[in-house]
Structure 1
Amino acid sequence: MSAIANHLNLHAQALQLREKRNEVLASNIANAATPGFKARDIDFSSALSSAIGAGELKTTHAGHMPVGNGAGDGMLYRKPTTTALDGNTVEIAVEQMEFAQNTLRYQSSLEFLNRKIRGLKGAIRGE
């Protein structure tokens, strides 16, 4: 990986994960009235660590015991405070708040990435 790619990797990975998380949260909201639907979310910190190669310990031999929670994609079920009678675990207020917060963090990550790119451009130009 080039030096520039290494410099931008964390922020690029964060943007991709934030986008994926928004899709998951939007799916939860869309299925708020679906009987038996289980709300999902992404463990953002674990998924980002895994994406940039700074994840949990990995086994190196077939005899080693695996570590971690086994959620390789970072997807988890949300633990609801109340479950609907039809088994649906979507709490619309929680999902909307998480979606709004994730959108703000996406915009912040995008702005931070743009500033890094502008800084690199300036360095290349000798400014």
Structure 2
Amino acid sequence: MGLSKTERKFRIRRRIRKVSFGTAERPRLSVFRSNSEIYAQVIDDNKGETLLSASSRDKDLAKNKGTKSELATLVGKTIAEKCKESGIEKVAFDRGGNLYHGRVKSLADGAREAGLKF
């Protein structure tokens, strides 16, 4: 019998995390996508702490009306602006077991537009 959807996603997530590691110079941009929201965190894995975060539930982003992909682009731009303010230029992108398509791709494109380098 094949893997369930959640087991398959967890297996892919573990495989990605083997190669995607965040340091102080190049932290990891982790993306979590639920059915209705999208979240992004910038993480330093050496210290084990979250440096910055942004989500579609933030008060300034939640009042924007649009599609989920448009909100994901705004979350990407917001996290990139926060990174620029903190002096972070480059990140390692962690798609979190999701396909690089749709909202995950929109978030990444929004972060790139705002000047963040992967």
The normalised TM-score by structure 1 is 0.26
Q: Is the helix fraction higher in 1 or 2?
A: 1
Q: Which has the higher contact order (CA 8 A, sep 6+)?
A: 1
TM-score scaled by structure 2?
A: 0.27
